[in-house]
Amino acid sequence: MPIPSVKQMRLRYELASEVVAARAGEYVDDHDYDLLIEGSDVDVVTPAGDWLLSHRVQALDWESYRHLVPMIAGLRGDVDGRGNAVFKESKLPLLCKDGTVSGSRIYHIPKLESLGDGFSIRFGYSGRTGMNPYGHRSGHWEQHPEVFDAIQPFLRAMHAVYRAAAPEWCRRQDKLAQQTQHWLLPGTNFNNLTINQNVQFALHRDKGNFEPAVMTVLTKGDNTGGILVFLQYLLGVRLKPGNVLVADTRHGWHGNTALYGVPGESFRHSYVAHFHRSMLKLGTEAEEAERRERWIASRSSIAD
């Protein structure tokens, strides 16, 4: 069987950075893209010639992983029914009943009015934070190791597509991963996998990541919407089961349009794998465990 050729696309239009940044935290809609990618293998570069994304059609045998949908749907995670990006810019100005913006400086995280049942869960590692100043596994991984075990073949298949679709970027990520081998998801150069159920993300950038994120979806029931929009380039991507997208989400402002379906029956799970640069600051697992014990001991002494 002949290997289908990969199209090379150079975008023509680019909005000014300050125009796009001014919309951080806002939802995008179908008016925010002029060009839509959905059914072709394509590598896309910006008008300046910088790589933006690589899209591969039916690169995964997604039917083999359909069983993961009810498994994930049975979990609960962050966002909890709200359609927002889990980052500070997602707080939007409060709207008055007449549709005008309130002048009270009160902000809110709006509820998703389309599909609902939204949440995000993460299997991977966390770097040092003020709350937990040590490297550790994510809470969902600790609580549901059997779910992550079931997901691993799917994750490794995503990684294989990444290596084939964007080999130069994957090699660069390999070099970073060699510096932090204690904190990688098995068989990959990722250190985190986020799974989003029925979530509409506001416009944002993934600032802490190495440039590429690797994405695919699994669905159940009828779903429409959910177009991933790169606003600066007026470009949309309709990601379908079996297709894989590798994209520069660190620099590219992105968000997705509203999702629609039958509440309780329609599920769209987006899988997003990436390498977070904060992990480069960690020591070995033993060293981070020691940091944890010292932190717990210090907290106990303060409490006493």
- Listed in sequence order, the residues at least 6 apart from 241 whose beta carbon sits closer than 8 Å to its beta carbon are 62, 216, 217, 218, 219
135-151 pLDDT, tens digit each? 899 989 999 999 999 99
Return d(Cα 140, Cα 122) in angstroms, integer: 6
DSSP states of 49-69? S-EEEEEETT-S-GGGGTTHH
Q: Lowest-pLDDT range, 75-79, 116-120, 296-300?
A: 75-79
Q: What is the pLDDT of residue 302?
A: 64
Average pLDDT of the segment spanning 196-222: 90
Average pLDDT of the segment spanning 108-123: 64
Q: What is the pLDDT of residue 129?
A: 81
| CATH C-level class of 7-303 | alpha beta
Q: Considering only CA atoms, which of 231, 203, 247, 224 is closest in space to residue 31?
A: 231
238-255 pLDDT, tens digit each? 999 999 999 999 999 999
**What is the separation, in whole angstroms, between the first and last Cα of the chain?**
71
Q: What is the pLDDT of residue 21?
A: 93
167-199 pLDDT, tens digit each? 999 999 999 999 998 899 999 999 999 999 888
94, 25 Cβ separation under 8 angstroms:
no
Average pLDDT of the segment spanning 69-95: 58
**pLDDT over 90 (residue 236):** yes
Averaged pLDDT score across all residues of the chain: 86
Q: What is the pLDDT of residue 199?
A: 84
Q: What is the pLDDT of residue 76?
A: 74
Q: What is the pLDDT of residue 116?
A: 58
Tell me the pLDDT band of 33, cut-offs 50, 70 and 90.
very high
47-68 pLDDT, tens digit each? 999 999 999 999 999 999 999 9
Average pLDDT of the segment spanning 29-34: 95
Q: Could you tell me the two tokens for 152?
A: 């691993």
Which regions of 16-133 does DSSP assign to beta strands (E)? 35-37, 42-45, 51-56, 92-93, 107-108, 119-126
**Percent of the chain topping pLDDT 70:** 84
**For helices 167-177 and 145-165, angle between their N-to-C axes, nearest 10 degrees:** 130
Q: What is the pLDDT of residue 263?
A: 74
71-83 pLDDT, tens digit each? 999 887 655 433 4
Q: What is the pLDDT of residue 86?
A: 34
Tell me the pLDDT band of 108, cut-offs 50, 70 and 90.
very low
Return d(Cα 255, Cα 33) in angstroms, integer: 11
- Listed in sequence order, the residues at least 6 apart from 242 whose beta carbon sits closer than 8 Å to its beta carbon are 57, 58, 59, 60, 61, 62, 216
Provide the residue ranges of all domains of the chain, joining segments of one domain with +.
7-303
Q: What is the pLDDT of residue 107?
A: 47
Return d(Cα 270, Cα 28) in angstroms, integer: 17
Average pLDDT of the segment spanning 255-275: 88
209, 279 Cβ separation under 8 angstroms:
no
Q: What is the pLDDT of residue 91?
A: 45
**pLDDT over 50 (residue 109):** no
Q: What is the pLDDT of residue 8?
A: 96
Q: What is the pLDDT of residue 99?
A: 58
Q: What is the pLDDT of residue 301?
A: 66
**pLDDT over 70 (residue 119):** yes
- Listed in sequence order, the residues at least 6 apart from 195 whose beta carbon sits closer than 8 Å to its beta carbon are 72, 120, 121, 122, 123, 269, 270, 271, 272
Q: Considering only CA atoms, which of 89, 58, 70, 52 is closest in space to residue 169?
A: 52
